[in-house]
Amino acid sequence: MTVFDCPRHIVICGGGTAGWMCAAALSRTIGRAGVSIALVESEEIGTVGVGEATIPTISTFNGMLGLDEDDFLRATEGTFKIGIVFANWGRAGENYLHPFGVAGFDYEAIRFHQFWLKLHQADREAWGEFEDYSLSAVAARAGRFMRPGGDPDSVLSSMKYAYHFDAGLYARYLRRYAEARGVVRIEGRIVDVAQHAHSGDITGVTLEGGRAINGDFFIDCTGFRALLIDETLKAGFEDWSHRLPNDRALAVPSESHGPLTPYTQATAESAGWRWRIPLQHRVGNGHVYCSNHMTDDQAARVLMAGLDGKALGDPRMLKFRAGRRKAFWKGNCVAIGLSAGFLEPLESTSIHLIQTGISKLLALFPAAQPSQADIDEYNRLTALEYEQARDFILLHYVATRRDDSPYWQERRRTNVPETLRQKMELFASRGRVFRRDDDLFTIDSWLAVMLGQGIEPRGYDPLIDALPVTEIEGLVRHVRDAVSRTAAALPRHEAFIAAIAGRKPAHERSLT
Ligand SMILES: Cc1cc2nc3c(=O)[nH]c(=O)nc-3n(C[C@H](O)[C@H](O)[C@H](O)COP(=O)(O)OP(=O)(O)OC[C@H]3O[C@@H](n4cnc5c(N)ncnc54)[C@H](O)[C@@H]3O)c2cc1C
């Protein structure tokens, strides 16, 4: 008989989105090998309770679990998200859309945006904005949505989507899934962590009241507390607040109001930005700000003044610091979720980073004795992912023409990492963008944000000049027409959701 050479008792500490995502994924995979999985959480401590906007990779995770999408949307009051509208970022009064999916198609080995760029540089009026060529962007602005079909040649297939969901309901949904597959949930507050006298490995945690839970591999999902990876194992923190200084958020739900938009809204303010996330039963709102530039009272006023429906409670404050653990995996403990690091939710990257943490842990799953080479590779890849996400978020702050407050003046003077500087310079020259090291964000995402923030390339790909202008015009016009025709024929997002939910959207229900 084959001996299963891996940890036999896994303990997940923490039951927020990270903890239950880990529990669900492990129960689906290694749970089958007879490994015991326990999850410890404390109701009294609770979870961070935010984290409701995602990026398209989430459907890979849900798919790996075998979740039925309609069932998932009903259980989490979820909606579809095909992009993010950024208001007041490049300049106050302007807005742009970062859509998911691709715009146009490459032709003669030249990227589509280069054709548009050439025409746009000659006549801006006639050729419009780049988002006019993205089905996700045009559909998002029109409040329309449909799942992309299977035909790879159809315009519809260029659309990609993610979800908005209620974070608490998602964790509960995954809890039911994991418990049905053998995960044992243990209620209680961890008050002590025991370590092996020689190796320093964690051997168990003790709960208030004295109950000990032992294991041979631990996943730290205790959120900002980082109880195992940092308080116990002293993994350290690489602080990025000199580049991303926002350190607080106020969050408040509000009643649904108006049509169910298939996008997140991120509105820049004088010392930070506000989010608006539409769910079936309510809207999630928040104001992320920098406490050096704004008081909590001022931030609350900005948040409440921006609500478009009645508040469903008082704003709740969250404090954080941008950065990442110096080591995510140490000995027999790996940190996943907020215990691993924090990046403000401007591009909804945190849940994605939980997901990639889980995938890498599965790909490098340790033998009974973890190998240092596996640990090093996990740490290398995770650090890279955090840095790539940081660069993309930072782009929104440094590529701006705003200088209307000390906060924005400071953002423009930010010391830009070399990786991002090269990307911006390359684009500013001839509109070229390359994806490096499996960068999470696609070329279309970089394009949308660089153009939207107001970076104007000085030229375009010179190879294009080998093609007749009429041919280029025909190609670009064809894409714009096809996108606009397809978007107009899509159902309204709220009708699509109502059909899944089996009821009218909340704002319509309150009118009857
Ligand atoms: C303002 C804000 C907005 C965000 N928006 C988004 C977004 O739109 N999209 C996105 O992808 N991400 C977002 N995030 C990040 C997202 O919320 C988190 O990545 C996600 O919720 C995972 O959190 P977590 O499970 O790591 O931590 P938590 O939710 O804090 O869970 C920690 C768990 O550990 C338990 N615990 C802690 N200490 C103990 C102890 N001593 N004993 C026992 N149990 C303990 C708690 O009870 C809890 O169950 C946002 C974060 C913030 C702060």
Residues 6+ apart with CB under 8 A from 356: 57, 382, 385
- Please identify, among 304, 319, 334, the residue that sits at the C-terminal boundary of a domain: 319
* Average per-residue pLDDT for the chain: 95
Together in a domain, 263 and 219: no
Residue 73 in any domain: the answer is no
SS3 502: coil
SS3 227: helix
Residue 470 in any domain: the answer is yes
Together in a domain, 327 and 471: no
- Tell me, what's the pLDDT at 33? 79
- Tell me, what's the pLDDT at 438? 83
Together in a domain, 293 and 181: no
| Index of the ligand 1 atom closest to the CA of residue 284 | 8
Cβ 461 vs Cβ 114: under 8 Å: yes
Residue 423 in any domain: the answer is yes
Residue 393 in any domain: the answer is no
Please say whether the dihedral angle defined by the alpha carbons of residues 358, 361, 367 and 370, taken in this order, is positive or negative.
Answer: negative
Q: Across 128-246, where does the E strand assignment appear?
A: 162-164, 184-187, 190-195, 202-207, 212-214, 217-220, 237-239
Which residue among 47, 274, 275, 393 has the greatest number of ligand 1 atoms within 8 angstroms of its CB, and so is best to mutate? 47
d(CA 223, ligand 1 centre) in Å:
5
| Index of the ligand 1 atom closest to the CA of residue 41 | 44
Please say whether the dihedral angle defined by the alpha carbons of residues 177, 40, 56 and 86, taken in this order, is positive or negative.
Answer: positive
- Tell me, what's the pLDDT at 6? 79
Our answer on whether the CB atom of 67 is closer than 6 Å to any ligand 1 atom is no
81 as an active site residue: the answer is yes
Together in a domain, 146 and 278: no
Which residue among 39, 48, 193, 317 has the greatest number of ligand 1 atoms within 8 angstroms of its CB, and so is best to mutate? 48
Single out the catalytic residue among 81, 330, 360, 423.
81
Together in a domain, 360 and 301: no
Together in a domain, 126 and 188: no
Our answer on whether the CB atom of 357 is closer than 6 Å to any ligand 1 atom is no
Our answer on whether the CB atom of 279 is closer than 6 Å to any ligand 1 atom is no
- Please identify, among 319, 340, 368, the residue that sits at the C-terminal boundary of a domain: 319
- Tell me, what's the pLDDT at 369? 83
* Helix/strand/coil percent split, the chain, to 5: 40, 20, 40
Cβ 189 vs Cβ 295: under 8 Å: no
- Tell me, what's the pLDDT at 278? 97
d(CA 337, ligand 1 centre) in Å:
7
Cβ 254 vs Cβ 371: under 8 Å: no
- Tell me, what's the pLDDT at 32? 77
Cβ 43 vs Cβ 198: under 8 Å: no
- Tell me, what's the pLDDT at 511? 52
- Tell me, what's the pLDDT at 266? 98
- Tell me, what's the pLDDT at 69? 97
* Beta-bridge mates of residue 285: 252, 276
d(CA 233, ligand 1 centre) in Å:
20
Number of structural domains in the chain: 3
CATH number at residue 41: 3.50.50.60
Residue 445 in any domain: the answer is yes
Q: Which two tokens stand for residue 343?
A: 């990046």
Low-confidence ranges of the chain (pLDDT < 50): 1, 512
- Tell me, what's the pLDDT at 174? 98
| Index of the ligand 1 atom closest to the CA of residue 223 | 27
Together in a domain, 229 and 373: yes
Residue 496 in any domain: the answer is no
Our answer on whether the CB atom of 284 is closer than 6 Å to any ligand 1 atom is no
Cβ 53 vs Cβ 80: under 8 Å: no
Cβ 121 vs Cβ 460: under 8 Å: yes
- Tell me, what's the pLDDT at 3? 59
Which residue among 12, 39, 40, 45 has the greatest number of ligand 1 atoms within 8 angstroms of its CB, and so is best to mutate? 45
- Tell me, what's the pLDDT at 151? 86
Together in a domain, 277 and 355: no
The span from the CA of 161 to the CA of 100, in Å, is 6
Our answer on whether the CB atom of 345 is closer than 6 Å to any ligand 1 atom is yes
Residue 330 in any domain: the answer is yes
**Ligand 1, atom 14: nearest CA belongs to which residue?**
51
Together in a domain, 223 and 328: yes
The span from the CA of 489 to the CA of 261, in Å, is 17
- Please identify, among 387, 419, 441, the residue that sits at the C-terminal boundary of a domain: 387
Together in a domain, 180 and 141: no
Together in a domain, 333 and 223: yes
The pairing of strands 333-335 and 217-220 is parallel
Our answer on whether the CB atom of 18 is closer than 6 Å to any ligand 1 atom is yes
Cβ 283 vs Cβ 312: under 8 Å: no
Together in a domain, 407 and 476: yes
Domain that holds residue 289: 248-319
Residue 63 in any domain: the answer is no
